[in-house]
């Protein structure tokens, strides 16, 4: 696989072996003391040790305090680790959670207060006034596309409600998108993160916001991901499929600058209340929500079906998604994955006020969210 370079707007080094270019990039920038931000699971695996072997000549420290749906407390601990190491840059290494934390570790390393005070809808939101440390991102999953995003999602410490910091200041200075880093992903994680990538492309395209650039990216991202996801799950060593999923993931994250919808509103609530993996939460809700959305934007569903290579128009799209979920091992409803009926009122409350639902193609209120959650149980 040839490494190509392009920017949209982040400079991206894409291809097998791109991870080996990080040290040279940092050296060229005069940086010598990176802090790697990653999660507990990855820190114990050979993939991180192998990556560190390409950082000879640099004084490296690792913050591996990211776990679950990351909280503000984890971010503040990472910022303390940055200062303790006297770091001069941040390397985000991991899935969406680790990359989101890495972005705001850099923010909080040079700003006062708590990270929650920087979320976009805080009543007294603090401005970003200082230059952030140099940040580079290496995704090890193909789902969130956080490596190319300008947002970071972090949960409140006690309520676990997900909040978002939005700023172009959070963009990585460079992305090293190396599909070899995803070859060891278990099929279940490949499946859940892959559906997350598809969801970003799909919901962005269905959003009523005006952004033709994102629409085109979303459709192509869906086309690439639709042909590759089942292959990546069934044959983990298929590097071409892994590369396609990594590209589809980045395209979805670029596209959802346009906005998302009620699948994500439900998924955010499920993460906060039931601690479900974000990709899995999207997968468990996507067909139920999209079936409900179909009649609001039928022509858009026709385009989605065409991009996915389906015959039968938009009416074939949700059945195809259900078949894809089954083929990659995502089966059962919310209850089968630990969601309890007693959590319904809290799920409805959080989904109803989640920022993502504001641009769903069909307006959704509390009664609608309760119906959707119950259908997905």
* Mean pLDDT score of the chain: 94
What lies within 8 Å, CB to CB, of 210 at 6+ separation is none
Other CB atoms within 10 A of residue 166 CB: 16
The DSSP bridge pattern shows strands 162-166 and 151-155 to be antiparallel
Q: What average pLDDT does this structure show over 199-221?
A: 95
Query: What integer pLDDT is reported at residue 4 of this predicted model?
Result: 64
Query: What integer pLDDT is reported at residue 252 of this predicted model?
Result: 96
Other CB atoms within 10 A of residue 322 CB: 16
Which tokens belong to 99? 């990359």
Is the predicted pLDDT of residue 152 greater than 80, yes or no? yes
Residues of each domain in the chain carrying CATH 1.20.1090.10: 187-376
Q: In the structure, how many helices (H) and strands (E) does the chain have?
A: 14, 9
Q: What average pLDDT does this structure show over 215-237?
A: 97
Query: What integer pLDDT is reported at residue 210 of this predicted model?
Result: 87
Is the predicted pLDDT of residue 7 greater than 60, yes or no? no
Q: What order do you get walking across the sheet with 4-7 strand by strand? A: 4-7, 11-14, 174-177, 134-139, 89-94, 34-39, 61-66
Q: What average pLDDT does this structure show over 63-86?
A: 95
Query: What integer pLDDT is reported at residue 60 of this predicted model?
Result: 98
Query: What integer pLDDT is reported at residue 1 of this predicted model?
Result: 67
pLDDT, one tens digit per residue, over 29-70 is 999 999 999 999 999 999 999 999 999 999 999 999 999 889
In terms of CATH, what superfamily is 187-376?
Dehydroquinate synthase-like - alpha domain (1.20.1090.10)
Please choose, from the candidates 221, 214, 96, 105, the residue with its C-alpha nearest in 3D space to the C-alpha of residue 147.
96
Q: What average pLDDT does this structure show over 326-343?
A: 96
Instruction: Please answer whether residues 156 and 102 qualify as being in contact, where contact means their C-beta atoms are separated by less than 8 angstroms.
Output: no
Confidence of residue 169 (pLDDT cuts 50, 70, 90): very high
What lies within 8 Å, CB to CB, of 49 at 6+ separation is none
Which residue, chain included where needed, has tokens 């990855």?
42
The CA–CA distances, whole Å, from 178 to 4, 41, 150, 181, 182 equal 11, 19, 20, 6, 8
Is the predicted pLDDT of residue 160 greater than 90, yes or no? no
Q: Which of 23-37, 73-87, 114-128, 306-320 shows the lowest per-residue confidence on average (mean pLDDT)?
A: 114-128
Is the predicted pLDDT of residue 269 greater than 90, yes or no? yes
Residues of each domain in the chain carrying CATH 3.40.50.1970: 4-182
Query: What integer pLDDT is reported at residue 161 of this predicted model?
Result: 82
Confidence of residue 3 (pLDDT cuts 50, 70, 90): confident
Is the predicted pLDDT of residue 9 greater than 80, yes or no? no
Is the predicted pLDDT of residue 6 greater than 70, yes or no? no
Taking the C-alpha atoms of residue 39 and residue 98, their distance in angstroms, rounded to an integer, is: 6
Confidence of residue 182 (pLDDT cuts 50, 70, 90): very high
Query: What integer pLDDT is reported at residue 5 of this predicted model?
Result: 64
Q: Which of 21-25, 119-123, 142-146, 189-193 shows the lowest per-residue confidence on average (mean pLDDT)?
A: 119-123
* Topology of the domain comprising 4-182: Rossmann fold (3.40.50)
Query: What integer pLDDT is reported at residue 258 of this predicted model?
Result: 85
Is the predicted pLDDT of residue 72 greater than 60, yes or no? yes
Percentage of the chain beyond pLDDT 70 is 98
Query: What integer pLDDT is reported at residue 69 of this predicted model?
Result: 83
Query: What integer pLDDT is reported at residue 121 of this predicted model?
Result: 85
């Amino acid at each position: 696989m040839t490494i190509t370079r392009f920017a949209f707007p982040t400079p991206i080094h894409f291809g097998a072996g791109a991870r080996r270019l990080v040290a040279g990039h940092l050296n060229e920038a005069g940086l010598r003391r990176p802090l790697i931000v990653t999660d507990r699971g990855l820190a114990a695996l050979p993939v991180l040790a192998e990556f560190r072997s390409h950082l000879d000549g640099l004084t490296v420290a690792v913050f591996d305090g990211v776990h679950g749906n990351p909280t503000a407390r984890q971010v503040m601990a990472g910022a303390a680790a940055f200062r303790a190491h006297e770091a001069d840059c941040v390397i985000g290494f991991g899935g969406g959670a680790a990359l989101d934390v890495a972005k705001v570790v850099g923010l909080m390393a040079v700003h006062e207060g708590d990270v929650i005070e920087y979320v976009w809808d805080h009543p007294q939101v603090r401005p970003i006034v200082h230059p952030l440390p140099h940040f580079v991102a290496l995704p090890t999953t193909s789902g969130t596309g956080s490596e190319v995003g300008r947002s970071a999602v972090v949960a409140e410490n006690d309520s676990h409600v997900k909040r978002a910091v939005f700023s172009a200041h959070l963009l990585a200075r460079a992305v090293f998108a190396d599909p070899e880093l995803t070859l060891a992903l278990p099929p279940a994680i490949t499946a859940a993160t892959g559906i997350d990538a598809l969801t970003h492309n799909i919901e962005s395209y269905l959003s009523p916001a005006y952004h033709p650039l994102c629409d085109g990216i979303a459709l192509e991202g869906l086309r690439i991901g639709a042909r590759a996801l089942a292959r990546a799950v069934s044959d983990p060593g298929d590097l071409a499929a892994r590369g396609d999923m990594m590209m589809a993931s980045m395209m979805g994250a670029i596209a959802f600058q346009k906005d998302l919808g009620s699948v994500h509103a439900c998924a955010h609530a499920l993460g906060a209340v039931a601690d479900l993996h974000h990709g899995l939460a999207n997968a468990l809700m996507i067909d139920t929500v999209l079936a409900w959305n179909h009649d609001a934007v039928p022509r858009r569903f026709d385009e989605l079906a065409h991009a996915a290579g389906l015959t039968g128009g938009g009416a074939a799209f949700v059945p195809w998604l259900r078949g894809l979920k089954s083929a990659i091992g995502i089966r059962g409803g919310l209850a089968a994955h630990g969601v309890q009926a007693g959590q319904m009122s809290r799920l409805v409350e959080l989904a109803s006020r989640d920022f993502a639902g504001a641009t769903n193609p069909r307006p959704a209120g509390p009664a609608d969210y309760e119906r959707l959650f119950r259908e997905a149980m």
